[in-house]
Structure 1
Amino acid sequence: MSATSFQHLNKGELTQLLDIARDAIRGHFSDELILPPRLDLYGKKLLQPGASFVTLKVNGKLQGCLGTTLAHSPLVLDVHNKARASAYQDRRFMPLCEEQLDQLTIEVSVLSQPEVLSVDSEQALIAHLSNNKVGVILSDNHAQALFLPQVWEQIRQPAEFVRQLKIKAGWQGNYWSPTMTVKTFIVDSITGKYHY
């Protein structure tokens, strides 16, 4: 799905994905076995291959965020798997624990297919982003970093957005290369509190 052909999800579909993410996390703290969602319970759009990120915050602070840009399994399964991974496999954080659940918020983002943006310089990228608050993937050689569009809420200046993205990839803040690849994407997202 490119940004132009992106099939937007409605509120009901996004709410279903949020419930799937909650259930995936809840299963870790439950004696009952929580299985992946039954595919026959969902509509066509949620069964299409989809790419998602699940972001977890406790008291407003990041607690886990993992996802993929490649759609390779039904969206409902992708969200289930990314919710579990964000809660227990994001190496930047200790695994989610039961004491954190009262303050936990879950954000599910469904990504359009990233599209290559042809820019010949960092200045051209910054100029593009000043009018387009989209998600960005920078890659060069074997390093890559991604910011979801929601990062614009914290980093409002395009130049700083790009600088922080480069630092996330492990480069110096002033790094740029003629072989740098830039891809952009949009998302549909929903945020909700975790509740038992």
Structure 2
Amino acid sequence: MITSADARILILLVRDTLEGSFSGKSSEESLLVVKDRDKERFSRKQGVFVTLHKHDELRGCIGFVEPVYPLYEAVVRAAQAAAFEDPRFAPVAEDELGEIHIEISVMSVPKTLEAGSAEEYPEKISVGRDGLIIRKGFRSGLLLPQVATEYGWSSEEFLEHTCWKAGLPPAAWKSPEATIMTFQAQVFKETAPGGSVVEVM
């Protein structure tokens, strides 16, 4: 479990990483200055997504589904990727930092959703608790748990939008060739840029 104190440290790490990027620091260099106590505190490998908002509009969101890095390292790498490598947006500019709200989602390990038939999938998904991953062929899409809550989707709409995120037809989740996975996340965000941190879910 991530505590509120942990979340404040991780979100500060995101902000420090972004600020350091404008002085020429790479993610590797940012990792070198992470405090030893934080490396020890967040040494467990966990999936994490970093989401950036500007004036309540999405400005970047990238992360790691699988627990491939220690949490502190995953946060640093995801922060730089969300700010500068999200293909949907232009890279964040230095003068935007004061307007950027930071949100982190620390993920559980995804699990394949089992059902007797495709029609059973919606009832096995808990909106507000579960995030979704849908894979079919070479395509894959992921939506974080808070997205369905923010838009007021039903579980079936959540499935359809995750298909769309993967570049698949909305009903692709019904295909026997599709794999559906669920995960949970602890989500924390700033109430204002550089401000206090609250737990969203």
SS in structure 1 at match of 2:168: coil
Q: 2:136 and 2:24 mapped to 1: Cα distance?
A: 45
SS in structure 1 at match of 2:76: helix
- Structure 1 counterpart of 2:30, one-letter code: L
Q: CA deviation at 1:31?
A: 6.4
Q: Closer, same or farther in 2 for the Cα pair 1:98/1:83, shift >3 Å?
A: same
Asked whether the equivalents of residues 46 and 76 of structure 1 are also in contact (C-alpha less than 8 Å), the reply is: yes
| Partner of residue 23, structure 2 | 30
Q: Which runs of 5+ in 2 are unaligned?
A: 196-201
Q: Superposed, which structure 2 residues align to 1:78-117 within 5 Å?
A: 78-117=74-113
Q: Closer, same or farther in 2 for the Cα pair 1:185/1:45, shift >3 Å?
A: farther
Q: Which has the higher contact order (CA 8 A, sep 6+)?
A: 1
SS in structure 1 at match of 2:189: strand
Q: 1:85 and 1:130 mapped to 2: Cα distance?
A: 29
Asked whether the equivalents of residues 149 and 186 of structure 1 are also in contact (C-alpha less than 8 Å), the reply is: yes
Asked whether the equivalents of residues 22 and 194 of structure 1 are also in contact (C-alpha less than 8 Å), the reply is: no
- Structure 2 counterpart of 1:161, one-letter code: F
Segment drifting more, 24-33 vs 95-104:
24-33
1:163 to 160, 165, 174: 160
- Structure 2 counterpart of 1:25, one-letter code: L
- Structure 1 counterpart of 2:11, one-letter code: L
SS in structure 2 at match of 1:53: strand
Q: CA deviation at 1:129?
A: 1.9
Task: Give identity over the alignment, percent.
Answer: 28
Q: Closer, same or farther in 2 for the Cα pair 1:13/1:92, shift >3 Å?
A: same
1:17 to 10, 14, 25: 10
Q: 1:121 and 1:60 mapped to 2: Cα distance?
A: 38
Normalising by structure 1, report the TM-score.
Answer: 0.87
Q: 1:159 and 1:104 mapped to 2: Cα distance?
A: 32
Q: Superposed, which structure 2 residues align to 1:123-142 within 5 Å?
A: 123-130=119-126, 133-142=129-138
Asked whether the equivalents of residues 39 and 72 of structure 2 are also in contact (C-alpha less than 8 Å), the reply is: no
| Partner of residue 198, structure 2 | none
Asked whether the equivalents of residues 128 and 149 of structure 2 are also in contact (C-alpha less than 8 Å), the reply is: no
Q: Deviations for 1:108-151, whole angstroms, at most 9, x for unmatched residues?
A: 11111111110244421111125673011111111111111111
Q: Which runs of 5+ in 1 are unaligned?
A: 1-7
SS in structure 1 at match of 2:133: strand
Q: CA RMSD in A?
A: 2.2
2:51 paired with 1:58: no
| Partner of residue 4, structure 1 | none
Asked whether the equivalents of residues 134 and 179 of structure 2 are also in contact (C-alpha less than 8 Å), the reply is: yes
Segment drifting more, 115-124 vs 102-111:
115-124
Asked whether the equivalents of residues 133 and 152 of structure 1 are also in contact (C-alpha less than 8 Å), the reply is: no
Aligned pairs, number: 189
SS in structure 1 at match of 2:30: coil
Normalising by structure 2, report the TM-score.
Answer: 0.85
Asked whether the equivalents of residues 56 and 65 of structure 1 are also in contact (C-alpha less than 8 Å), the reply is: yes
Asked whether the equivalents of residues 11 and 104 of structure 2 are also in contact (C-alpha less than 8 Å), the reply is: yes
